[in-house]
A and B are shown apart, each in its own frame.
Chain A
Amino acid sequence: SQQGEEDPQALSIQEGENATMNCSYKTSINNLQWYRQNSGRGLVHLILIRSNEREKHSGRLRVTLDTSKKSSSLLITASRAADTASYFCATDAGTALIFGKGTTLSVSS
């Protein structure tokens, strides 16, 4: 069964706008990771946030984690056409990561 569920399933924005994707999960976690998948390619790790962290930044990416609500968000600021991809959250609840079904982001110029 899926541990993480991303929301929305699909998101379309214009270049320069911010994109926010959310992930909810069910059980306690050690860390939560976000990955990106470009069409026809493998997943690429973006950022990892540990359960004792509340916010983390990496370039134009900002991730928040609320363990009380069992949710995380990924914010991409000043989006570019090259950000068009699917974004997945993955939760670590024990032995291996469990991936959600992803949010498909489309950024048009």
Chain B
Amino acid sequence: DAGVIQSPRHEVTEMGQEVTLRCKLISGHNSLFWYRQTMMRGLELLIYFNNNVPIDDSGMPEDRFSAKMPNASFSTLKIQPSEPRDSAVYFCASSLDRGSDTQYFGPGTRLTVL
């Protein structure tokens, strides 16, 4: 198995632009997580899906952020409009069943908003 796949690996954009991050889960996994990592705040859980349904989105910073799972193997995280403070590394992770199971992380997307 290829593991969790994220794209793009790097994204540089200007303030106000829309950014879309993509994630492909490991086949057979039912839970999907989006995290944001910064030096200041560490690793923050943004949203957690189980069987395509959002279970916990309390970590989503504000209405500018949205996440979807159009099917069981794919997810997107969209930021619109982007701001410089959104600059961070965004990780997607999946687990076999529950949110508390072992998680498998993708390589991350480094986002820079100028």
Q: Mark A20-42, 1 if CB is under 8 A from B, else 0.
A: 00000000001101010000011
Interface of B is mostly: strand
B interface size (C-beta, 8 A): 20
Contacts of A42 in B (CB 8 A): 4, 91, 93, 105-108
Say whether B102 contacts A33, CB under 8 Å. yes
Contacts of A101 in B (CB 8 A): 42-43
Q: Mark A40-59, 1 if CB is under 8 A from B, else 0.
A: 01111100100000000000
> Shortest distance in angstroms between B9's beta carbon and chain A's nearest beta carbon?
10
Residues of B60-114 at the interface with A, using a CB-CB cut-off of 8 Å, are: 91, 93, 99-100, 102-108
Cβ of A88 within 8 Å of any chain B Cβ, yes or no, is yes
User: How long is the Cα–Cα vector from A88 to B105 in the complex, in angstroms?
Assistant: 13
Q: Which of A31, A41, A96 contacts B48 (CB 8 A)?
A: A96
User: How long is the Cα–Cα vector from A5 to B108 in the complex, in angstroms?
Assistant: 23
The closest CB in chain A to the CB of B55 belongs to A95
User: How long is the Cα–Cα vector from A102 to B55 in the complex, in angstroms?
Assistant: 26
- B residues bordering A, Cβ < 8 Å? 4, 33, 35, 42-43, 45, 48, 55-56, 91, 93, 99-100, 102-108
- Residue contacts A-B, CB under 8 angstroms, 5 given: A30-B100, A42-B91, A48-B102, A92-B99, A96-B100
- A residues bordering B, Cβ < 8 Å? 2, 30-31, 33, 35, 41-45, 48, 88, 90, 92, 94-102
